Amino acid sequence: MQLIHAFPAPGLLAGAGVRALLLSGEGENGPLAHRLTALGARVELQGELYAALSDLLDDPQGAGLFVVDCDTTHAEGIAGVRRAIHVLAETGRHIPVILISGQIVRQSFPEDRHAPVELRAPLSAVSLKVGYEHALRDRIDVIYG
């Protein structure tokens, strides 16, 4: 028996309408951008780490989520991205972060709201949905709390 699950309309999703800055070398037609859009995010693409950090710091409205495909965007891999995220946190700008990499051995959904969610690549739709909702749990608490 095959079960097919259809996600609700985008307006009913927990992360509907959140502005997500995606750092990825795959481009706007990549599968990660499409999956985030399917979860209800308004995806903005950036291809370079420091340009993305600049966007996060300079934008007064701010993005609601920062998603990083570490394998396609940064020569230093996940270690370099973690350092850059630490620098972002030092500025006092706290934004939910999802890191995706093949170097991640074990997926992480931390209790610390300022720690990034870490997902292992290749990424499944289920792990992205769980990571997305976990990263946006403060927003979910406001909507349903």
Rounded to the nearest integer, the mean pLDDT of the chain is 83
User: Distance between CA atoms of 82 and 18, rounded to whole angstroms?
Assistant: 23
Whole-angstrom CA distances from 5 to 10, 73, 83, 113, 119 are 14, 32, 38, 29, 22
Question: How many domains in the chain?
Answer: 1
Contact 61/93 with Cβ under 8 angstroms?
no
CATH, residue 85: 3.40.50.2300
Alpha helix stretches (DSSP H) within the chain: 31-38, 49-58, 70-73, 77-90, 125-135, 137-144
Q: Is residue 11 included in any domain, yes or no?
A: no
Q: Residues 121-143: pLDDT tens digits? A: 999 989 999 999 999 987 654 44
What is the domain range of residue 73?
A: 16-144
pLDDT of residue 47 exceeding 60: yes
Q: Is residue 40 included in any domain, yes or no?
A: yes
Residue with tokens 């780490």: 49
How large is the average pLDDT for residues 29-39? 91
Share of the chain above pLDDT 70, in %: 83
Q: Is residue 56 included in any domain, yes or no?
A: yes
The amino acid that residue 121 corresponds to is A
